[in-house]
Amino acid sequence: MRYASPCLWLAAAAVLAFSGACREVQEALVWPPDTAALVDGRPITMDELNQVLGWGFYGQLSQEEGEPAPAPEAARLLVLEKMIEERLVLAEAARRKISLEAAEKEIRAARLDEVWSRPDLPPDQAEALRQNLLRQLVLHKTTAGIMDDGRRLSAADWQAFWQVWPKKKPTLYLVRILLLPLSPEAPALPAPGRENFDQMAQRFKLEGFPAVLSEAVWLRSDRLDRGLRAVLETAWAGRKPSQPVRQEGSWAIYEVLDLDRETAAVADLRVARAAYELKAGEDAFRGWLAARRAAADIRINPSLIQSRE
């Protein structure tokens, strides 16, 4: 068997490298000036990019409060990145059979088409507004579908959720509070009697204690100290007003009208489950988008990058 000489291999490598470099230069030279980017071979035109910029989209880009708006060149690239992501989502919309035609039917059914049917809008602006609303609806429906896929949590996911969910649920106490300001003239507080709460308040007023009776309010056990929780539990168990509790600037007597150990826990659980599922959906969408970007053939017009530099 005959082997090629090292010099011949080096020469061949040089030719290949040169031809590759020539192709890169050629691609740069023949890049269409009216094309901002290519996403899997499909163009985003400069006109499309300038139109979105003209809508003031760059002013909506996320930034920390107080930070200056991005420079025009940086804003152009940031908006282009958003448009590239939109193209990837729209490609997924086609796969999921979410069409512009179906979106238009929904918009007309909701009578949102009146937005672009105003007589004061020039025809070209009305058509641009129509296309944008249709596209945004398709993007929303597709993104929601991807997030819904991520919300289908496994048994292991729910086990992780239950591990972080607090096991001790708060109790709710529905109470009225009789407040009795401290008085130097009458340091000793008369003991509560057997009368009802309203009669007790009236009696204390007659005995020189300017009592204030509150409306019924709900108190959560996880926001009360241990001593007050014990007072409320005792009052509820005996179905009678509590003993006076010394507080800052006053005495307080509690009447527990109702007690709820379940509803608050169920309500909090529903909110926590919804937040957990939403985060799972958001994480799924971010993961989907990162994977789709990595798999896609995305090329940006070199002139846009050079202008930023």
For 172-215, the pLDDT digits (tens) are 999 999 887 766 554 566 666 667 778 777 777 777 677 788 89
Averages of pLDDT over each 10 residues, the chain, 309 residues = 39 38 44 88 90 65 55 82 92 88 72 64 74 83 91 87 76 90 60 72 74 88 91 91 82 90 76 89 94 93 74
Same domain, 148 and 56: yes
pLDDT digits (tens, 9 = 90+) for 214-226: 899 999 998 899 9
Measured between its terminal Cα atoms, the distance across the chain in Å is: 53
Q: What is the pLDDT of residues 102-125, one digit of tens each?
A: 777 777 666 665 666 666 667 777
In a shared domain, residues 37 and 136 = yes
Amino acid at 293: R
104: left (phi over 0), alpha (psi -120 to 50) or beta: alpha
- The alpha-carbon radius of gyration of the chain (Å, integer) is 35
For residues 135 and 197, membership in a common domain is answered with no
Q: In what order do the strands lie in the sheet with 35-39?
A: 42-45, 35-39, 298-300
User: How far apart are the C-alpha atoms of 51 and 121, rounded to whole Å?
Assistant: 16
Note whether 172 and 267 are within 8 A (CB): no
The single-letter code of the amino acid at 126 is: A
Is 182 in the same domain as 66? no
CA distances from 65 to 57, 73, 220 (A): 17, 21, 35
Q: Which pLDDT does position 185 carry in this prediction?
A: 53
* Together in a domain, 63 and 92: yes
At 134 the pLDDT is 81
Report the pLDDT value the prediction gives residue 109, as an integer from 0 to 100: 66
Please indicate, yes or no, whether the overall pTM of this predicted structure exceeds 0.75: no
The reported pLDDT for the residue numbered 193 is: 61
Domain hosting 130: range is 28-152+289-308
Task: To the nearest 10°, report the CA torsion of 34, 36, 39, 44.
Answer: -60
Looking at residue 112, what is its pLDDT? 61
> Are 180 and 135 members of one domain?
no
